[in-house]
Amino acid sequence: MPKPDILMPAPMSPEVISALDDRFVLHRLWEQPDTGEFMNSVGPHIQGLAVSTLAGRIDDVLFDRLPALEIVANFGVGYDNVDARAAAALGIMVTNTPGVLDEEVADLTLGLLLATIRCIPQVERYVREGLWPSGAFPLSPTLRGRRIGILGLGAIGKAVARRLDGFGVEIAYHGRSRQADVDYDYHDTPVALATACDVLIAIVPGGAATRHLVDADVLTDLGPDGVIINVARGSVVDEAALIAALRSGTILAAGLDVFEDEPQVPEVLLTLPNVVVLPHIGSASIKTRAAMGQLVVDNLVAWFDGGKPITPVPETI
Ligand code: NDP
């Protein structure tokens, strides 16, 4: 049997590349001197895609050029970079990498929450700049007594909630529906959740359905002691409204791992004292990224061996 042809539009880890090289004919698009000519000659033979967000948008434009495509294996649990509905309509399978990163992202979320509320990066800079001898850093806000609203109580949201249980804070959540097996208070809109809480942790999927779920109204209802933590996708929070709310004191602070136009971070956010910024590192440990890469490989192998991927996305099950 000839080995299936897999296209990798943008580089993935050496381990993933090596594993795919062993099992498939792997084509590295970024190494092609003439990508147009390559797509014309090799595109019709491509049966699988291995992609991350670095590959850009995976949609009909690409599908049109890959008539033999059977599967898109996405590196990441979020797959808003892939038009899964368009893929489903064409009978193309899409897989993602759930399960192997939940605890890692939840750890990072708690780190970002504490860093934001207790001003840890700001205080660390204060010490490095030699300012401690000139006086103590101003007192910080606190996590004590807070009510935390989780926007998206899915696999990662629940891992966040488990950690927060140990912190002795109140927890509530919003999703499109109430979960029967969950005891936390449910709120049927983001505004209602924000009104009931003074911390909002966004951990919903990206895409059109959740675009600007956190808007000016939600921020206003979160209130002047309010803290927003976004580890979901930049598109989930209206960044212009967030900047205005942070500047005006409509909310207290923000901890952001994701941005609307990554890797660009609005200059003004970097000048605000009440913001902690991270470069989209929720899952970015050596161990977890390796597990995600292995799941990309395993999904492709499972598909071409037996037609049953391990972790298909709901749109293409
Ligand atoms: P899950 O699918 O397990 O959970 C998603 C949750 O979001 C569900 O509880 C769902 O509840 C809720 N939700 C979905 N759509 C909507 C909507 N339109 N309005 C309100 N709530 C909604 O996903 P995961 O927990 O595994 O991951 C969530 C997201 O986290 C990923 O899609 C990704 O974008 C992001 N992520 C970010 C990382 C980072 O590095 N910062 C790393 C990993 C993930 P319901 O169905 O009831 O609406």
Report all structural domains of the chain as residue ranges with CATH numbers, in order of start: 5-100+287-316 (3.40.50.720), 102-277 (3.40.50.720)
Ligand 1 centre to CA of 152 (Å) is 5
List the residue whose alpha carbon is closest to atom 33 of ligand 1: 78
Counting ligand 1 atoms within 8 A of each CB, the residue from 204, 228, 288 with the most, and so the one to mutate, is 204
pLDDT at 5: 98
Q: Please tell me which residue, 12 or 1, carries the higher pLDDT value.
A: 12
Residue 251 burial by Cβ neighbours in a 10 Å radius (0-12, 13-18, 19+):
buried
Q: Which amino acid is at 150?
A: I
Residue 124: pLDDT band by 50, 70, 90 thresholds?
very high
Longest dimension (CA), the chain: 73
Distance of CA 71 to the CA centre of its chain: 22
pLDDT at 215: 98
Tens-place pLDDT, residues 48-71: 999 999 999 999 999 999 999 999
Ligand 1 within 6 A of 204 CB? yes
Mean pLDDT along residues 194-218: 98
Q: How far apart are alpha carbons 158 and 10 in whole angstroms?
A: 32
Q: How far apart are alpha carbons 173 and 267 in whole angstroms?
A: 32
Query: Which residues pair with residue 179 across a beta bridge?
Result: none
Tens-place pLDDT, residues 91-123: 999 999 999 999 999 999 999 999 999 999 999
Contact 312, 92 (CB under 8 A): no
pLDDT at 28: 98
pLDDT at 209: 97
Tens-place pLDDT, residues 236-254: 999 999 999 999 999 999 9
Full-model pTM: 0.97
φ and ψ of 112, to 5 deg: -70, -40
Can you list the positions of beta strands (E) in 99-209? 147-151, 170-174, 185-186, 199-202
pLDDT at 317: 87
Check whether 73 has a pLDDT greater than 90: yes
Q: What value does the mean pLDDT of the chain take? A: 98
Mean pLDDT along residues 149-162: 98
Contact 193, 174 (CB under 8 A): yes
3-state secondary structure of 252: coil
What amino acid positions are annotated as catalytic residues?
Answer: 233, 262, 280
φ and ψ of 117, to 5 deg: -75, -40
Check whether 1 has a pLDDT greater than 90: no
- Structure token digits, residue 46: 């491509």
Counting ligand 1 atoms within 8 A of each CB, the residue from 100, 113, 156 with the most, and so the one to mutate, is 156
Q: How far apart are alpha carbons 135 and 126 in whole angstroms?
A: 10
Query: Which residues pair with residue 261 across a beta bridge?
Result: 264
Ligand 1 within 6 A of 257 CB? yes
φ and ψ of 183, to 5 deg: -90, -15
Ligand 1 within 6 A of 226 CB? no
